[in-house]
Structures are given as structure tokens and as C-alpha cells.
Amino acid sequence: MAAVGKLLGAQVGDSIRCDGVWNTHRKFGRQFKVTACEVTIPQTDNGVIAWLSSRLPNVGRTRARALLDHCGGPAELWRTIEHEPLALAAVHGITTERAEAIAESYRAFRDERDSVIRFRGWGMTQNQVARMLAVWGADSESNLRDNPYSLAEVVPGFGFLRADAIANRMGIPRDNTGRIECGLRHTMTQATGHGHCYVATGKLVKIAAEKVLRLDAAIVAKHLAIMRGRGEFVQHGARTFTRRLDRNEQRCADMIRALLEQRGDA
């Protein structure tokens, strides 16, 4: 069977459970298009040997077979690695240090697998998880827990709405600071994307509060003032600019002034 798609975390020897659909490729024939993939611990002798020899340090196929025979089968081997790893040192060629390294590698795999399961449980698609891992790698879960809205700022393919849906599944409250600030950035980005150089401050607060964040306008206005205080937004009169657009407008004004002064000198 040919399976196509992103197989997150899968390596040679892994057992995987895939969700998807069958289709027929013009060149390659019948294929299973994977929409979701979960790496699992193999439960057959051949699968266990392939997994151990490809994943664990200083374990080839011969030593993997010895470990499997010593424990009496896959289920007892996984239990021993997880709960009594030093018992593996009874196998010829497995030192205490190697037994500890095997257990550490197994825990790293288990943590990685469990993290991916949590990401999917928080509503992330296979492609979204892949993009996040490409940017954050092993720090993905800690970064996500610290501030899921940083997805919209750092990881390609995410915006406020997608990050907000994930944060909601994670149980992040609606008045979370990261959410409000990301919502204000999103509101400004939408406006500048339509060609506006600024947004009237009252209008910015109203749109962000009512249409984006669904929060009291006073709370949104408070956070906008904090963001202005650290220079992320700039206010001139009743108008709010992003710092970048304010700087660009000022630069344009300076250039025009310089040209007029040169014309006057001529």
C-alpha cells in the first residue's frame, strides 16, 4: 500500500495509525492520502526490532533481538524500558549507562508522541502541527502553553483567528493579555491590508472589541494604551498608526520637505 502525506514524527521501524481517504493517482495508481497520522509503539517482534535498532543508541538488530528475547515479548519489553530500565543491563552488551540511554530515548519519543496528540486535541491540523514544529521544534509545546497567540506572530500560515480557535480549545480566557494584543494587531493589519495608513483610535477600539475580541471596549482601550506606551502603536491626535507606517509617513514627509527646499534654493 502506498500512503502519501505528512507523517509527523514517523521514522523507519515505527508503527503508525493513519486517517485519510483513498484516491487514484494518474501515474502511481491507488494511494491512501493521509490527513492525520499517529506514531504508535510497535507490538510485533519484527516491528519492535526495527524500532529499537533505528531509534535507540548502541542498539543494532542483534542486540534488539536479545532485549526482546530477554523480556519475553513486546509488551514486557516496553514495560521494562519505561519502569525498570536498569533490568536491561542483564542482557549481554547492555551496560547500565546504555540501559539509561535507552530509557531516555524512549521517554523522548513518548513525550514527542504525546505532544502531537495534545496538539491535535487542541484542534490543530496535521499541516498546522508540521509548520509549528518546523519553526519551534522541541520548544513547540512550551511556547504554545506560554502564549498560543504567538503562533499568529511567528509561524507561517497562522493568523489571529486560527490561533484564537486553538487557544479556546486550550482553555485560554477571552480577556487574556496575549489574546487582546494579538486581536488589536489583527485589526490593524486588516485595515492596512485595505490600504489605510491609520485607523481612527475610537474606530480601532470599537472594531477590535465588538467584531474581533467580543470584549468590553474599555478593556481593549486599556491594552491599546499599554501597547502605545511601549511604542508598538503611535497616536497622532485621534489617529492610531503602527510604528512602521508612522515611521514611513514621517520619512516621506521629510523627503518631500527636502525636495521643496531644494526647489526653493534653485
More confident residue, 223 or 44: 223
Could you give the CA distance from residue 105 to residue 55 in angstroms, rounded to a whole number?
8
Q: What is the pLDDT of residues 160-185, one digit of tens each?
A: 999 999 999 999 999 999 999 999 99
CB 126 within 8 A of CB 5: yes
Say what the pTM is. 0.66
**For the chain, which domains are there?**
1-121 (no CATH), 177-246 (1.10.10)
For residue 149, give every residue at least 6 positions away whose Cβ sits within 8 Å of its Cβ, in sequence order, or none. 160, 163, 164, 167, 176, 178, 179, 181, 182
Instruction: Tell me the mean pLDDT in the region 76-95.
Output: 92
Strand partners, 38: 17
pLDDT at residue 115 in the model:
86
pLDDT at residue 5 in the model:
66
Side-chain-side CA neighbours of 218 within 13 Å: the count stands at: 0
Q: How far out from the chain centre does Cα 12 lie?
A: 24
